Amino acid sequence: MAAKYLTLKLCRDHLNIKDLSFTEDDDYIMLLAESAEVSVANRINQTLVSLETEPDSGVLPEDLMLALKFLMATWFDQRENVVKVITVTSFPFSMDDILQDYVQRGMA
């Protein structure tokens, strides 16, 4: 499955990769893009298609696109699942805050 919403151009622009001749990370970037889309859909408990601005438009709300880019970029920057004794802090009003508005809660 390929990423539907995060194109390579969107990802490269968000990552500030301007050198078009550098393509070594492109496959990895697209793997992260696809994984970000799956992860966000799972986290909010609904499909991204159901959140398109118009049915079958392939366009998501801008804040949701930003959350997808945040996640993809974080994974690109932090390629390992461990860090060495540093303090890591989430920025306020970032991906988690954006996604909170989209979480579909199940019936208790």
Domain ranges (residues) in the chain? 8-100
Selection from 25, 35, 19 nearest residue 75 by Cα? 35
Interval 59-106: pLDDT, tens: 999 999 999 999 999 999 988 877 666 666 666 667 888 888 888 765
Express each pLDDT in 22-34 by its tens digit. 999 999 999 999 9
H or E, element range at 37: helix 26-44
pLDDT of residue 105: 65
Tokens of 81: 């699942």
pLDDT greater than 50 at residue 108: no
